[in-house]
Each structure stands twice: as C-alpha cells, then as structure tokens.
Structure 1
C-alpha cells in the first residue's frame, strides 16, 4: 500500500467508473471491452498527452504539477475530498515526502474538552480509528458491551473500523449499516493517502480485507469520503431506537473528538437521557456493592 501503487490504483479505478456518455465522449456505437473511459480519452479531457497520463497511472511519472492534478481531478469529476486525496497520493508517492506517523496520545486540552462534554456522548478517535478515550456516555452509546477501561491500554484499544465490520453488536447498532460502513472506509482512504508508509494502517486494512468481504469490496472501490457530519439511526439494546448527529471535531493533525447529539425535545433526546440515567444508576449500584462488601 505504498503511495505510488495507491495513486495508480485510484486513477485506474475512478477512470473505469466514469462512462463515456457521462462526460460527452462519443463512442459511435462501438463495442467496448470495458464500460469506463480509456486512458487516451481521460487524457484528452484533462488536456495532457496520452503517454504522460499512462506513465502517471503506471507510477512511472511522479512529478505531476498541482495544475495537472487539478485538471485530472476535473476530468474524473472528483469532489473536493477526492481532489485533496489525489494530491495527497501524488505527494506521498515521492520518496522525499514520506512521513512516519508519530505515536498518538490524548493531549491535556483534548482530555479537558472530553470531560466538559460529560452530558454528550463523545469519543476520541485516532487517525486509524483507534479509540484513545471516551466519556461514560460515549462508551455506553457506542460500545457499552466493551470494557470501559479498554482505551487506557494501547494494546487493547478498541478500533471503530474493526467494530463496524467485525463486531456483531456494532453492526446491529446502525439501522443503515452500509452508510456507516462507507463512511468508515472513506475516512480510512483519506488517512491512507496521507500516511502510505504507516505499518499499523497496513495491518488494519489487511486484516479487515481478509475477514470482511464487505470491507474488501468497499476498499477496492476507492471511494473517498470526508465524513465530518452525518445522521444515523441507532438501535441501542438498552433504550431502543434513536437518531443522532455524529460530528467530528478536528483539532488539527492530532486525534479528533466524535460527538453524538440529538434534537432538543425529540424522542431521541429522551432516549439519550434515559441512557444517561441508566449508566448513572449502574455506577451507583456498583459503588454500593463495593461498600457493602468492604
């Protein structure tokens, strides 16, 4: 999963997904072996030579200018997230631009913000979707079946991508699971473009591809999606159905905080309040039990 191969795979896959009639390329009724655009057709739309584009797609030309990349992005009809991803791939394909990711940790400002969000479900997510921390309500909403202390041990940290694709509880939690799964894969694609030499990311993608046919299919599709805000209907085992807005609060290049909010006065807000009451009562019961046995 190096930058050079990712760049070529992305260009080839997206070119094959773009039909000639979508971009006004005449086919004159000819039978085509593949439904997508040919290399020379994409090159013509982008305003570059066919040989240059072929070298770029094959990983033999790694010095494409930002202007050329933008022209190719327009020809492929990429959205803004996909355009930035293309630029990331082009940069990471150059040996001098490789970046080794630093170890992730929860900074003091992030810890304070997580504490301030006590009445709002919140989790701190690393770039590979590892759960670095969560507040009580975040744990109860997203992964109440797991040990609440798991994020405190680096080797035992839950990973949201693994949970979404490999954990039956989490899969059942989302009424529209394909939408959630697509968002997870789209975000991982963005990270792969930024950190193509990250061995832990290689391991995660390899594991998910081997264990989940759904993940393998979505990953091969090369869809890129920066999902900062999305509504999800959740089917929680304790409080039933509720609709939450999941928002990713980014603090720069470090970990992000994902919060789940509900509309004021809605049944979903009532369900979330009920969940908060349930975990508070459970905590009191555990405390009382410890006192009675001490």
Structure 2
C-alpha cells in the first residue's frame, strides 16, 4: 500500500497483503547499500539501495525466484528461502516475523474477515481499577478499551471522547492536546506507526483496521510519511516517556506493556515511576488529589 492513493479502496476490504509484502521488501532493500553487504557498486542507480539481482545473489536464490516473492507470491516458498532473504536484508526478528506473516499468512485468517472490535471484559476493568499506576488496555487496532483513574489524571479524560475517537493512534496524530502532554511526541508517533504496521501484518483483511489507516493517511502528513517507511515493532519494554503535566510539571514514566490472555488480542499498557524519584512523587500527588478528571 502506498502512503496515498490506494488507501481509500482498502478501507472496506482490508489491506492488500501482496501489496504490503511487495512494498515492505522494497523498503528493506532501499535502506541497504552494496558496500554495506560486501558488494561492489557498478554504475549509477536510479533508486537507492540494493537491486533485486543483488539481493537474490546474497540470499542464494535465482533472480526470478526472488522477483516472484517481491511481487507478493510467497505462499509456495520454503521457510529456508524466507530466512535466507531475511538474513540478506538484515532484518530484525520482528521484521522477519512480519515478512513471514505477509508471505505465508495463517489459515483460515487469511480468508475470513476478522470480527469487529471486542468490548473489554469486566474482570479486566476491575484489574485496572485496582492498579496503583496509570494503566489502560488497547486492542490490535490500538483502540483504548478501558483505563483507570490515574491514567485519566496523567493523560486526560478519554471518557469525554466519542468511543470511535478513543484510539491511541488517532490521539497522537490528530489531537494537539494529547501531543501537548508529551515532551517528545515525535518519538511516540514513530512507535505508534511501527506498532500499527506490525499489527497490520497480523490482520491484513480487517476492514476496521483499514478504516483507521485511511483516516490517519487523509488527515496527518506525519502519519503518511511514517507509514510509508514500513517500519515494524511492537515496542520495547522499559522505555521511558516524559510527561508534560499542567499541574505537576514534567516527569518520567517507564512503559511496561503486557499481553492479556484469552479472547481477542489485547495489551495492558502500564506506566510506573522509578522508586524514590521526583516522578514517583508527582504520581503520588496526582493519585491523592480529589478533583474533577482532567481534560
């Protein structure tokens, strides 16, 4: 899928898996130079990065065989071939998994339309309410399904938003208020775009996912640019996020995501402060104040 054009057509039918595979491989080739992989560069290059024939040589497969993979036809290719391509492209483990998922989607998910977003289980909401740190739950599309009072105090009151706007990607790319709460919103934007790309490979036929991509692509130039990079990651546990709060100033939180078992894929997103730090004191103040939820 390109960063413009075809997005609208995909909104009702899901992302096109073969297009995703083709553009992912092209983007990974483009970031490698011949000298990066021990090859000599001959002549001028119309586009950056390795040529198809160079990548095929590195992977130990014929040009025609690799070209077929880059055209989106990877169903009949062996795991050994895909691993060889992944090594030649110097893919990370997450990128390799993304490649395999796009090339050889699991059945029957490749032919069956995924179910619509699921509501949060009552027991999970109870868990959120008992946690002493800011926490919320997102699904694969990054819809925010539930949160606790401390998350409201730190990030803003999501209950004031229509349900369709309670989405982490929509908030970071389309909400100035959300970006104002983050000292480094660009870093968070990149992480969100990478997570969406990763999740898109798991749900290529999901029209709900495609409608989100369509909206963000139409409304955010930043999203279009990041989406076109085809970077994938589910994030790194222990990352620090600096919050800019209107009442307690700036403080740091450590992000710890956790997968929730059972039912539709969901992740519990928790944030804690280092013990004994000023950030911990800021959280303690927010937790103790009795006030109307912040907007």
RMSD: 2.0
> Per the alignment, do residues 91 and 10 of structure 1 end up closer, same or farther by CA in structure 2, a change over 3 Å counting?
same
1:290 counterpart residue number: none
Alignment partners' CA distance in 2, 1:96 and 1:255: 17
CA distance in 1, matches of 2:66, 2:109: 22
Partner SS, residue 97 of structure 1:
coil
* 2:127 counterpart residue number: 113
User: Contact between 1:92 and 1:98, CA under 8 Å: does it hold in 2?
Assistant: no
The whole-number CA distance in structure 1 between the counterparts of 2:154 and 2:130 is 17
Shift of 1:93: 8.9
Q: Distance in 2 between matches of 1:54 and 1:69?
A: 13
Residues 232-241 or 61-70, more deviating:
61-70
Q: Does 1:187 align with 2:198?
A: no
Find the counterpart in structure 2 of residue 292 from structure 1: none
CA distance in 1, matches of 2:272, 2:235: 16
Task: Check the 8 A contact 1:62/1:93 in 2, yes or no.
Answer: no
What is the CA deviation profile of residues 248-289 of structure 1, one whole-angstrom value per residue up to 9, with x for unaligned ones? 1112452111011000110111111111123x2447xxxxxx
Q: Which has the higher helix share?
A: 1
CA deviation digits over 1:153-182, x for unaligned, max 9? Answer: 7x4451110000000011122212121111
2:74 touches 2:104 (CA, 8 Å); kept in 1?
no
- TM-score between both structures, scaled by the size of structure 1: 0.87
The TM-score normalised by the length of structure 2 is 0.87
Distance 1:243 1:185 in 2: 22
2:286 to 268, 275, 283: 275
Give the aligned partner of residue 215 of structure 1.
Answer: 223
Provide structure 2 residue ranges, at least 5 long, that are not aligned to the other structure. Answer: 1-14
More displaced, 205-214 or 253-262? 253-262
**Equivalenced residues, count:** 275
Which of 1 and 2 has greater Rg? 1
Which whole-Å deviations, capped at 9, do the CAs of 1:38-93 have from their partners, x for residues lacking one? 00101111111110111111124532222211111111111111111111111239
1:141 maps to which residue? 154
- 5+ residue gaps, structure 1: 284-294
Cα separation, partners in 2 of 1:85 and 1:64, compared to 1, 3 Å: same
Distance 2:77 2:25 in 1: 13
